Amino acid sequence: MSVRFEIDLQTGQREMVVDQKGRALLINPFTNKGTGFTPRERTLLDLHGLVPPAVCSLEQQLERVYENFRSKPNDIEKYVFLTGLQDRNEVLFFRLVHEHIEEMMPIVYTPVVGEACQKFSHIYRRARGLYVSYDNRGCVAQVLRNYHADSPSIIVVTDGERILGLGDLGAGGMGISIGKLCLYTLCAGVSPFDTLPIMLDVGTNDEDRLADPLYLGLRQRRLRGTAYQDFVDEFVDAVISVYPDAVLQWEDFLKENAIRQLERYRERLCTFNDDIQGTAAVVLAGVLSGLGLTDQELDQQRVVIAGAGAAARGIADLFVAALVDKGIPHSLARNSIWMADSRGLVHEGREGLETFKLAYARTPVDGETPSLLDTIRLAKPTILIGTSGHAGLFDEKIVREMATLNERPMIFALSNPTANSECVPADALRWSSGRAIVATGSPFPPVEFDGKSVRIGQGNNSFIFPGVGLGLHYAKARRCPNTVFLAAAKALAHETSRSDLAEGSVYPRLQRIRECSHAVACAVVRQVVADGFADPEVLDDLEQRVRAKMWFPDYVPIRYEPGATRDRDPERRMFERYGREAGAHG
């Protein structure tokens, strides 16, 4: 089906133009309104009899689907319900989640998406996105051309090997790509008409999946070495050839692969890795906000990161960049970072140390490798960050040591899903006599302590990556430099208000996430222009034009036109042609 948008320049009214009628409109989630089709549309589009006679407003439909959502007995059933709703009516789905964002965001993404990925082959209902498997080698470009959008704005790709803290889930990783793009639309208004989730299927080493008769992915051991890299190379070449204007986001690759692919391709197209760079930006934003509670400066901070993987490397690199930006010499900035992994302190005297850990390895320590607790005693950090995936790692001794060293220690337990969090916020507050500044990666309820309710800030990457993607795509950025994430972190920290800090949170409330994404997007646009990766013209009327670019879920009138000109990137092209009016809500 061909779909395009037209705008009445006198009224600003948008209209969807389609080249098919009847049932074709009902089975396409981008055109389906269900009972929301007006009497006039039902006549002109041959819909009489195909839907019940009652004409329902969007508000009535929302009441009905919310009632159905609340009736589901558990979170995974709620996830399946929302997935089904998205598969049949994109506008209604996004409007429902928008209206109930705090309740539903944990369902469509972390932590419930982790369980959904684990059960992906058993709860699968309908195809979404593209599955690019190793069997497609030699014709990956043709597979990409099979997608419905000629020019997707954002591509999220995973190979399913390191899904959240759950490990190798193979083809089940597609749930992560879909979920991330859902947040692009929900949090930053990136139009769902032209986003593309991709599962790069190179097999799995998970025995349960290989033995599962219902498993939907390639039933083979995971590809490694040169063959794996050649296949990824073909995929990237195909993206550059078929979708040259797309922003490519890497998601949930094994730590060595995550770093390697980012370094390999960052100079060839506009690409970033949310696990490395997005995580780093949201952590730095929380630290910058937290300084408002400690009355300290950034250059007074010392950081211990528990978990020395790709995310830890990204956090360390961005923290150092922030210090250098404030005039601190690079060598001194690096010296403020200490890393510990499952074996203890990362230092140069350890055998078999991975290459990506060497940048922050300390000088050799006499005797045995210090434990995390010993590392804290050596480093005397002001900030403790967890990216380990080790539930309960920040035990009472560790939290009490941080509270002994600092009046207001920052303790960020960031591992996902919730079950993998390094500590429970209530414990961290109790063990620190309420003095710890706590943030988590997954949502936790407020904690009552000493007669006061403390809101636990969620260091959720959704505060960063949707705005980054929106800004890069709006600016038509040719590359995505690291400076983008420093700019994004500063923008998000600026959005954290005094009232947020008074509640004990170093992050804004989720209800303000579109405002935060707008601020991040504008900061990103300014940065890529300053770095020479976008044309200065995109700065004209920037705040208003970026806001106008943000899609909002609402029904628009539909008109039938036989042989309508095919336009699979309507939001972008109409915006370019008509400016602000083209992106108006509605």
Look at residue 164 in the predicted model and tell me its pLDDT: 87
* AA letter at 60: Q
Structure tokens given for 280:
């780093």
Alpha carbon of residue 183 to chain centroid: 6
Residues β-bridged to residue 434: none
* Helix axis angle, 90-99 to 101-108, nearest 10°: 120
Residues β-bridged to residue 440: 413, 458
Q: Are 386 and 341 in contact (CB under 8 A)?
A: no
Residues designated catalytic: 109, 180
Task: Choose among 461, 462, 456, 429: nearest CA to 443.
Answer: 456
> Poorest-confidence range of 108-122, 282-296, 341-355, 406-420?
341-355
Look at residue 36 in the predicted model and tell me its pLDDT: 98
* Helix axis angle, 174-188 to 465-475, nearest 10°: 70
With a cut of 50, say whether residue 31 has pLDDT above it. Answer: yes
Query: How far apart are alpha carbons 459 and 436 in whole angstroms?
Result: 15
Residues above pLDDT 70, as percent of the chain: 96
- Position 1 confidence tier, pLDDT thresholds 50, 70, 90: confident
When pLDDT is averaged across residues 431-438 and rounded to a whole number, the result is 98
Look at residue 226 in the predicted model and tell me its pLDDT: 97
With a cut of 70, say whether residue 579 has pLDDT above it. Answer: no
Query: How far apart are alpha carbons 256 and 454 in whole angstroms?
Result: 37
Give the pairing type, strands 447-449 and 130-133. unpaired
Looking at per-residue pLDDT, the higher value among 365 and 257 belongs to 257
- Position 567 confidence tier, pLDDT thresholds 50, 70, 90: very low
Do 127-269 and 277-460 come out as alike in CATH topology? yes
CATH 3.40.50.720 is held by the domain 277-460? yes
Residues β-bridged to residue 337: 303
What are the tens digits of pLDDT across the range 54-105?
999 999 999 999 999 999 999 999 999 999 999 999 999 999 999 999 999 9
Boundaries of every domain in the chain: 127-269, 277-460
Query: How far apart are alpha carbons 523 and 527 in whole angstroms?
Result: 6
DSSP conformational letter for 138? T
The CATH code for residues 127-269 is 3.40.50.10380
Looking at per-residue pLDDT, the higher value among 578 and 21 belongs to 21
Cis, peptide link before residue 417, omega less than 30° from 0: yes
Structure tokens given for 545:
């034009």
When pLDDT is averaged across residues 504-531 and rounded to a whole number, the result is 97
Query: How far apart are alpha carbons 477 and 289 in whole angstroms?
Result: 28
Look at residue 568 in the predicted model and tell me its pLDDT: 44
Q: Are 462 and 109 in contact (CB under 8 A)?
A: yes
Residues β-bridged to residue 154: 195, 247
Residues above pLDDT 90, as percent of the chain: 87
Task: Choose among 24, 23, 25, 97: nearest CA to 557.
Answer: 25
The number of beta carbons lying within 10 Å of the beta carbon of residue 342 is 12
When pLDDT is averaged across residues 369-396 and rounded to a whole number, the result is 96
Q: Which residues contact 548 (CB under 8 A, 6 or more apart)?
A: 575, 579, 580, 581, 582, 583, 584
Q: What are phi and psi of 127, to 5 degrees?
A: -65, 140
Mean pLDDT of the chain: 93
Task: Choose among 225, 231, 154, 246: nearest CA to 200.
Answer: 231
Query: How far apart are alpha carbons 507 and 527 in whole angstroms?
Result: 22
What are the tens digits of pLDDT across the range 109-122?
989 999 999 999 99
The residue written with tokens 């690199």 in the block is 317
Query: How far apart are alpha carbons 530 and 509 in whole angstroms?
Result: 30
With a cut of 60, say whether residue 19 has pLDDT above it. Answer: yes
Q: Are 156 and 190 in contact (CB under 8 A)?
A: no
What are the tens digits of pLDDT across the range 217-255?
999 999 999 999 999 999 999 999 999 999 999 999 998
Q: pTM (2 decimals)?
A: 0.93
Q: Are 302 and 379 in contact (CB under 8 A)?
A: yes
